[in-house]
Amino acid sequence: MVQTFPTMRLRRLRRSQVMRDLLAENTVTLNDLIYPIFVEEDLDDFAPVDSMPGVFRIPERKLDVAIKEIAAAGIKAVMTFGVSHNKDDTGSDAWNRDGLLARMIKRAKDAAPELMLISDTCFCEYTTHGHCGVIHDGDVHNDHTIENLGRQAVVAAEAGADMIAPSSMMDGQVHAIRSALDSHGLGAVPIMAYSSKFASAFYGPFRDAAGCELKGDRKAYQMNPMNGREALRESGADEAEGADMLMVKPAMPYLDVLTQIRQRSLLPLAAYQVSGEYAMIKFAAAAGAIDEARVMRESLGAIKRAGADLILTYFAMDIARDGF
């Protein structure tokens, strides 16, 4: 029989901090976090990203120093984004064996081999137009782009990337990358698919950080923020194509999507707390409106509670330094 008041008193279990700690259903540790980093070529000093307080573009030539610091802080995994000075209309530097993407992966893995390196796999930081692939007749050409994604993934994995994370939202991208990796003897390299990536306004500060040249928008390939069922189809497709892990991006405005995918898939699930989510917390705290540390913990805890196994967050270093 279901107890009710006055027998049932839920406040009994909230009486002390020890009790609350013992009964916490979720927590966040460094084992849950992936730290996204921006690496820029031909840059001398760490460059602050104005729209993301506390985030810096790392100069390629100082990447080893930064990576050693990140590993020493206890971070387990990073996701790498290149800030390219060698852009063209296809983003070919991203599959050039001497290009920024390959160089930064090698340098980071040499500096801290134990740090898991997940390579964001897309073209928007490497194209002059800022779109995530090859443009034909004013639109990103799906099938040419996924061929190029396969090339990029092979170069990244051969340079030492531990995981490939395709983020361009092309149809068939997971299949194309899996086939390319497998045919190059890289069958052991897993794929974390950005399976539900929305055409979100929360990415604003990232474009600043990544030096993206995009004019227009990505609504013809990223998902409509109004849609939830479509995210389930995208996730199902990626799983069927061989994804080892799924992702929802952004995180906090899409917790319902995260929960629904968690209920339908047995794959590990990641969520990306994006630049705009981070910036809102930082700027609101700087304005005195909220307590930064508490809101950060609450936001990450909510993402875990909604179903994420892993969280990509710019707060990772803060947590490594100060605890959760």
Structure tokens at 12: 């009994």
Per rule CB under 5 A, count of chain residues that contact Zn ion: 4
Q: Is 189 in the site for Zn ion (CB under 5 A)?
A: no
Neighbours of 226 (CB within 10 A): 7
Q: Is residue 215 annotated as a catalytic residue, yes or no? A: no
Which residue, 267, 260, 221, 270, is CA-closest to 242?
Answer: 267
CB nearer Zn ion, residue 211 or residue 307: 211
Least separation in angstroms between residue 146's CB and Zn ion is: 13
Least separation in angstroms between residue 176's CB and Zn ion is: 15
Residue choice 63, 124, 153, 255 for contact with Zn ion (CB under 5 A): 124
Mark the segment that binds Zn ion (CB under 5 A) among 12-20, 115-123, 207-215, 249-257: 115-123
Burial of 301 (0-12, 13-18, 19+ CB in 10 A): middle
Q: Which of 197, 215, 282, 304 does the annotation list as catalytic?
A: 197
Q: Is 34 in the site for Zn ion (CB under 5 A)?
A: no
Least separation in angstroms between residue 168's CB and Zn ion is: 5
Least separation in angstroms between residue 49's CB and Zn ion is: 18
Neighbours of 178 (CB within 10 A): 23
Q: Is 132 in the site for Zn ion (CB under 5 A)?
A: yes
Helices 173-183 + 142-159 axis angle, to 10 = 40
CB nearer Zn ion, residue 52 or residue 210: 210
Q: Which of 76, 87, 109, 249 does the annotation list as catalytic?
A: 249
Structure tokens at 197: 């990536």
Q: Is residue 76 annotated as a catalytic residue, yes or no? A: no
DSSP string of 76-105, one letter each residue: -EEEEEEE-S--BSS-GGGG-TTSHHHHHH
Give the separation between CA 35 and CA 98, rounded to whole angstroms. 25
Residue 220 DSSP class = T
Mark the segment that binds Zn ion (CB under 5 A) among 10-18, 83-91, 165-173, 179-187: 165-173
Residue choice 28, 115, 117, 122 for contact with Zn ion (CB under 5 A): 122
Residue ranges that bind Zn ion, judged by CB under 5 A: 122, 124, 132, 168
Instruction: Write out the catalytic residue numbers.
Output: 197, 249
